[in-house]
Structure formats: structure tokens, C-alpha cells
């Protein structure tokens, strides 16, 4: 069974829904219209571009171009982690933490899946490696960004309480234990909710795509279960690593809180009042 191809008219009809949503946003003064249109344009351009790239990769299977594409995906994901945080580390450290955490978690879990679980020949077959890595990176990126944002914001808001705990003799690890737990929970909650509702409330994208492509629904379900488990593991490990590295950046070797290492996207009060 072949997938029914979509015409430009079909996509234009779907785009008209976003146009209507943007008009409603403007009418209600939500301030989301521009973001919706930019996101839609980026989605269109980026997906069309990756579609052409994947077509070339599928036709000429070689680990070199695959590795290059994987590194580009990782670097872009690291940037997205940075821009999604209200307070973030100065300089390149915040980008390195997010990128490094995603590399450690997503790449290792993807390699495990390709080499041990799927066991395809060659193991880097683009039809498997790129979609799996993409799904892992996308979800891990969200988890790491949420966790780091929660961690830095909570440390900023509760800085006096933390400093009092440090004065009373607690170590940095002890002083931020509850904040660390809440940050990790924030990063893990989206994938946990997705797993809890999969099949009852929503049909995940990979499973839906396989079914539309004519695959046996039970085969599609098995692959979706595998992907959900991999995403949960990748997100969990990435979040744990990111929070641990972030904590080391915000405390020195004498267990002193160093919030001067943080910067904020908020405008100064004097500018906001103009």
C-alpha cells in the first residue's frame, strides 16, 4: 500500500488554519501571530531541506555524511536549549552543558538501539539511524531545557535560603537537593505524560507514520514502544547529566553559590519602564 501523495493545494488548506489562528491571535492581542508564522515558515523550509538531504543519504549510504548530519543536529539542539532558558550561564558554558548532556545520552542510547536491539546491516542504515537519533535529540532537548531553566530560576529565587543553608554547614549538594529533584522532575514529566497517554489519548507520530505507510499495526506498535522507551531513557540520562554539570558551574570548590555566572533575558527595569 503506497502513501497517498499530497498536493500543494492540500498543504495550502492546512496552512490556512494557521492563518486563521494568527488572525485570532491578533484580534485577541495574544502576541502569538508572528511566532506562529515564523514557526510555520521554519517548519516548511527545514523539513523540505531535510527531505532532500535524506533522499541523498538513502541513495548513497555512507557513515561520513551521516555523522556530519548528526553533529549538525546536535549543535542546533544545543543552541535551542540555550534560547529556551530565561536565566542561563554566561559565555559558552551553558551551550556546552546542554550539548554535552545530549551527546552523552542521545548518541549512546541511539548506538545501543542500532547495534544491539535493531541489529540492521549496516548498523548506520539512514532509514533507522537518522529518525531514531532525531526523535531522541528532540525530546532530550526539551527535557534538558526545561530542567536547566527550572534549576537556574529556582536558584535565583531561593538564593538567600540556599546561602543560609550553606552558612549553617550544609554542602552545596545538600543545600540544593530539593531544587535538583524538582528540576529533574520538570525535565522528565513531558515524556512520562506522553508514555502514560500513548494509545489511549494519542497515537504517537512514528506509529501513525508507519500505519499510513502500510505497515502492520502490531509491527508499528512494537517499534513505537521501543522508541518511547529509548526516548525516556535518553531524556532521563541527559537531564541528570545536565543538572549535575550545571550545579558544578554554579558552586565553587568551597561550596559557595556563584549566581554571577548567570545572565538573564529580562530587560533592565529602566528600559522596561520607558
56 and 67 both lie in a single domain: no
Half-sphere exposure of 19 (CA within 13 A, CB side): 6
Give the position of cell 491571535: 25
C-alpha cell at 39: 514557526
The helix (H) or strand (E) run that includes residue 87 is strand 87-89
Picking from 60, 78, 111, the residue at the C-terminal end of a domain is 60
Indicate the DSSP class of residue 104: I
23 Cβ contact partners less than 8 Å away, ≥ 6 residues apart: 33
33 and 157 both lie in a single domain: no
Q: Specify the 3-state DSSP secondary structure of 265.
A: coil
174 and 196 both lie in a single domain: yes
176 Cβ contact partners less than 8 Å away, ≥ 6 residues apart: 155, 162, 247
Picking from 60, 85, 106, the residue at the C-terminal end of a domain is 60
Tens digit of pLDDT at every position of the chain (274 positions): 556 778 889 889 999 999 999 999 988 888 888 999 999 999 999 999 988 888 888 888 888 889 999 999 999 999 999 888 888 888 888 899 999 999 999 999 999 999 999 888 888 888 889 989 999 999 999 999 999 999 999 999 999 999 999 999 999 999 999 999 999 999 999 999 989 988 877 777 777 777 777 778 888 888 889 999 999 999 999 999 999 999 999 998 888 888 888 888 754 433 343 3
- Expressed as residue numbers, the domain containing 18 is 1-60
108 and 220 both lie in a single domain: yes
138 and 262 both lie in a single domain: yes
C-alpha distance across the termini of the chain, in Å: 62
C-alpha cell at 221: 506498535
What pLDDT does 147 receive?
A: 95
What pLDDT does 3 receive?
A: 64
Q: Give the dihedral sign, CA 65/67/69/72.
A: negative
Residue 273 lies in a domain: no
pTM for the structure as a whole: 0.82
Count of domains observed in the chain: 2
Picking from 60, 87, 104, the residue at the C-terminal end of a domain is 60
39 and 91 both lie in a single domain: no
Amino acid at each position: 500500500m503506497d502513501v497517498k501523495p499530497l498536493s500543494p493545494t492540500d498543504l495550502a488548506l492546512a496552512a490556512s488554519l494557521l492563518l486563521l489562528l494568527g488572525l485570532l491571535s491578533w484580534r485577541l492581542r495574544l502576541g502569538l501571530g508572528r511566532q506562529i508564522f515564523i514557526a510555520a515558515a521554519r517548519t516548511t523550509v527545514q523539513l523540505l531541506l531535510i527531505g532532500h538531504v535524506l533522499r541523498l543519504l538513502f541513495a548513497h549510504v555512507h557513515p561520513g555524511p551521516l555523522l556530519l548530519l548528526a553533529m549538525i543536529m546536535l549543535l542546533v539542539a544545543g543552541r535551542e536549549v540555550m534560547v529556551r532558558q530565561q536565566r542561563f550561564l554566561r559565555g559558552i558554558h551553558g551551550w556546552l552543558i546542554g550539548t554535552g548532556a545530549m551527546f552523552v545520552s542521545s548518541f549512546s542510547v541511539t548506538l545501543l538501539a542500532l547495534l544491539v536491539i535493531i541489529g540492521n546491516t549496516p548498523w548506520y542504515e539512514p532509514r533507522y539511524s537518522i529518525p531514531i537519533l532525531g526523535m531522541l535529540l528532540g525530546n532530550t532537548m526539551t527535557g534538558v531545557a526545561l530542567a536547566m531553566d527550572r534549576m537556574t530560576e529556582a536558584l535565583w529565587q531561593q538564593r538567600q535560603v540556599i546561602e543560609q543553608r550553606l552558612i549553617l554547614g550544609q554542602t552545596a549538594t545538600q543545600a540544593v537537593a530539593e531544587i535538583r529533584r524538582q528540576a529533574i522532575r520538570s525535565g522528565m514529566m513531558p515524556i512520562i505524560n506522553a508514555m502514560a497517554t500513548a494509545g489511549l489519548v494519542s497515537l504517537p507520530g512514528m506509529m501513525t507514520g508507519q500505519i499510513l505507510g502500510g505497515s502492520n499495526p502490531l509491527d508499528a506498535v512494537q517499534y513505537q514502544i521501543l522508541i518511547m522507551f529509548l526516548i525516556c531513557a535518553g531524556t532521563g540520562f541527559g537531564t541528570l547529566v545536565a543538572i549535575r554539570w550545571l550545579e558544578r558551574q554554579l558552586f565553587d570548590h568551597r561550596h559557595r553559590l556563584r549566581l554571577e555566572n548567570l545572565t538573564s533575558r529580562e530587560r533592565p527595569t529602566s528600559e522596561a519602564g520607558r
